[in-house]
C-alpha cells in the first residue's frame, strides 16, 4: 500500500513538475504584439459606423462624401455665435459646432471640412450639411434635423443638402448615438459651458 501511495505521489509530483516546465516553455514563447491604441480606436469607430448606418442605401451625398473621404460642412457665422468662432491663430473655425461636425464625420469614417458662411450667404452645391442659425428657413423642412435648443432662441437645425434620405438618416442616427452615449454633453461642456 505504501508503495502504491509513493508511486502515485511520485507520478503526481512528476506531472506537476512537467506541467510547470511546459507552462514555463509556453511563457517564454514570443507573444504576438498587442494592437496599438489607434488600431483599437479605428476598429471601434468602424464597428459603430457600420451599426449606425446599417440598412441605409449607399447613395446620394452619403455615398459621395464617403467616396471623397470628406464631409463638406458649412456654418452660418455671426460674431455673437457662442457655438462657433473663427480662430485667427489657426485660420479655421473653432468651437462646439466644428467639433460636432468633426464627430459626425468621424462616425461616418471620413474627415470634416468646415467653412464659414456670412449671414445671408447661401451654401454652394458642393456642401453636404449646413449648421443654420435659429429661425433660418433656408432649407426645405424635410431636410432639417434639430440638434440644439435654448429657451431664449429655440431650436438650431442642421440642413442636409441631399435629395435622398441616406445622409439625413445617417446624421440623425449619429446625433442620437452622441446623445445616448454622452458625447454630445461632453462637447457642450467643453465648448459652451466654459
Q: How many CB atoms lie within 10 A of CB 112?
A: 21
Spatial distance between the Cα atoms of 50 and 46, rounded to a whole number of angstroms? 6
Cβ distance 175 to 145 under 8 Å?
Answer: yes
Residue 109 within any structural domain of the chain: yes
Local confidence pLDDT in tens for the 194 residues of the chain: 334 334 334 434 444 444 454 444 455 556 677 878 778 888 888 898 899 889 998 888 999 999 999 999 999 877 667 788 888 888 888 889 999 999 999 999 999 999 988 877 888 889 999 998 776 666 777 889 999 888 888 888 899 987 778 999 999 999 999 999 999 999 988 888 66
Residue 131 within any structural domain of the chain: yes
Cβ distance 149 to 155 under 8 Å?
Answer: yes
Spatial distance between the Cα atoms of 28 and 59, rounded to a whole number of angstroms? 52
Q: What is the pTM of this model?
A: 0.76
| Cell numbers linked to 43 | 476598429
Residue 52 within any structural domain of the chain: no
- Which domain covers residue 153, as residue numbers? 57-191
* Number of structural domains the chain divides into: 1
Residue 39 within any structural domain of the chain: no
CATH number for the domain spanning 151: value is 3.40.190.10
Spatial distance between the Cα atoms of 191 and 43, rounded to a whole number of angstroms? 27
Residue 8 within any structural domain of the chain: no
State whether residue 92 is helix, strand or coil: strand
Amino acid at each position: 500500500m505504501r508503495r502504491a501511495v509513493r508511486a502515485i505521489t511520485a507520478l503526481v509530483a512528476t506531472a506537476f513538475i512537467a506541467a510547470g516546465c511546459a507552462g514555463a516553455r509556453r511563457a517564454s514563447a514570443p507573444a504576438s504584439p498587442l494592437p496599438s491604441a489607434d488600431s483599437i480606436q479605428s476598429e471601434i469607430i468602424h464597428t459603430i459606423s457600420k451599426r449606425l448606418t446599417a440598412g441605409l442605401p449607399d447613395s446620394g451625398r452619403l455615398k459621395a462624401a464617403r467616396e471623397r473621404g470628406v464631409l463638406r460642412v458649412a456654418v452660418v457665422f455671426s460674431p455673437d455665435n457662442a457655438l462657433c468662432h473663427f480662430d485667427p491663430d489657426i485660420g479655421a473655425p473653432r468651437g462646439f459646432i466644428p467639433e460636432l461636425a468633426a464627430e459626425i464625420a468621424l462616425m461616418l469614417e471620413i474627415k470634416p471640412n468646415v467653412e464659414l458662411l456670412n449671414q445671408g450667404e447661401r451654401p454652394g452645391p458642393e456642401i453636404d450639411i449646413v449648421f443654420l442659425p435659429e429661425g433660418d428657413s433656408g432649407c426645405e423642412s424635410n431636410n432639417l434635423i434639430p440638434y440644439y435648443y435654448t429657451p431664449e432662441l429655440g431650436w438650431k437645425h442642421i440642413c442636409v443638402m441631399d435629395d435622398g434620405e441616406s445622409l439625413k438618416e445617417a446624421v440623425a442616427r449619429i446625433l442620437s448615438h452622441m446623445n445616448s452615449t454622452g458625447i454630445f454633453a461632453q462637447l457642450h461642456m467643453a465648448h459652451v459651458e466654459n
